[in-house]
A and B are shown apart, each in its own frame.
Chain A
Amino acid sequence: MFAQKSKRFVTLIDGRDIIGMTEETTALVLLFQKGDRKAFTKLVKIFRQRVYGLAFKMLKNHIDADEVAQETFVRVYKRIGQLKSPVHFDSFIYRIASNYAIDLIRKRKGRIVAMPEESELPGSVQLTLATKVTSPEKVLENKQLLQAIVKAAEELPPRQQTTLILHDIEGLSKEEVARIMNCPEATVRSNLHIARNKLKKKLAKLLTS
């Protein structure tokens, strides 16, 4: 009966399946809320890559992203009772992850953070630009642009940075971002415009060429 009522929440932007709550996922959330540990294990499997991806985009290193991913699922486990609407489990999990990542950004502010290409941690991984490149010059240009974007975004206040990541990188709607960040849509819009304008100003030359 519930499955009939629940809708499929999938946002398609440029052909990408960004975030989605399928009927199956919603049913798993309901089972998990009733204490089913297997349902929780399945939910971890469904969301682990997205949570890790968001954390990596926010913190730009594997160690912190791993910490956020682990802590997010532990917090989800502890706080599942607070979730009133199972269809919004994705927002619930994203909110926990982004809040924890914001805390880490604030803690690490002032600490020197290695740029992606400088990271020497074993097994470290880097952000990538998923564009089709044809020449080595283009590869280098893209790499430079990525570094410049990452650096400029890092200088934004944590909430502006998170809004930009959730909306422009993760591809979530303003409504979803507002739900995740627990603020009005107007705030999301305003933060997004400010963040973009700051980046545009800093990267004017690179964006023009």
Chain B
Amino acid sequence: MMDRHTSHLHNDYVDGLLSEKQASEVDNHADSCEKCREDLNQLRNLKDRLAAIDAPDPGLEYFERLSEKVAERTHSITNESNSKSVNIKPVSASQAVLKTLIRVAAAITLLFGSFYASDFLSGNNQSPNSDNWAVLEYNIPDPIALPDSEHQQPPPSAVDEESIDKEDSDTEN
């Protein structure tokens, strides 16, 4: 066991996280293994150097300025949130015009929509653009029975030959 390298324990060793038994295992192995001894030394050296790195001190004047800047920025945040909670946000003239236009457009849409809906439900769906409606009704079967028998016929591809033959014979009779 003592001959096995202990490099997997070295990080925890330098952090002081190993048990006494494990730590002595690392120590004993390092005494006889140059590779592990070197690895441990490098790790200790790195850790010490990193711990010694310090940020510079830009001085009290800088930190006072920093506090002032933070105070300014947070003060404006407080003001913003206060104005939001107390005052009703003023609406500009252009926003007011836009809102009116949207309302008028909605009213017109509703008016025309209700006109077409009532026309459609009463069975008279001849709109000025009825050709387009016919195409739609042909592709999508309408659940409401239409007076025009042409619209009730299934598309040609869906009709089987037997029914065509039957129809033909009926006509002949």
Interface positions of A (Cβ within 8 A of B): 13-14, 37, 40-41, 44-45, 48-49, 52-54, 56-57, 62, 65-66, 69-70, 73-74, 77-78, 123, 125-131, 145-146, 149, 164, 168-169, 171, 189, 192-193, 196-197, 199-200, 203-204, 207-208
Contacts and interface: CB of A to CB of B under 8 A. Distances in A.
The DSSP consensus for interface residues of chain B is: helix
B58 to A, nearest CB: 6
Query: Chain A contact residues: over half helix, strand or loop, or mixed?
Result: helix
A204 B39 CA distance: 9
Contacts of B47: 168, 196
Nearest to A164: B50
15 contacts: A48-B66, A49-B63, A57-B55, A62-B58, A73-B74, A77-B77, A78-B77, A125-B57, A127-B56, A149-B53, A196-B11, A196-B43, A196-B46, A207-B41, A208-B41
Contacts of A13: 51
B45 interface: yes
Interface in B32-68: 38-39, 41-43, 45-47, 49-58, 62-63, 66-67
A56 B66 CA distance: 14
B58 A200 contact: no
Contact size range, B: 20 to 34
Given A52-B55, A126-B56, A193-B11, A44 B67 contact: yes
Given A70-B73, A145-B49, A125 B58 contact: yes
Interface in B112-148: none
Contact of A74 (B41, B53, B56, B74): B74
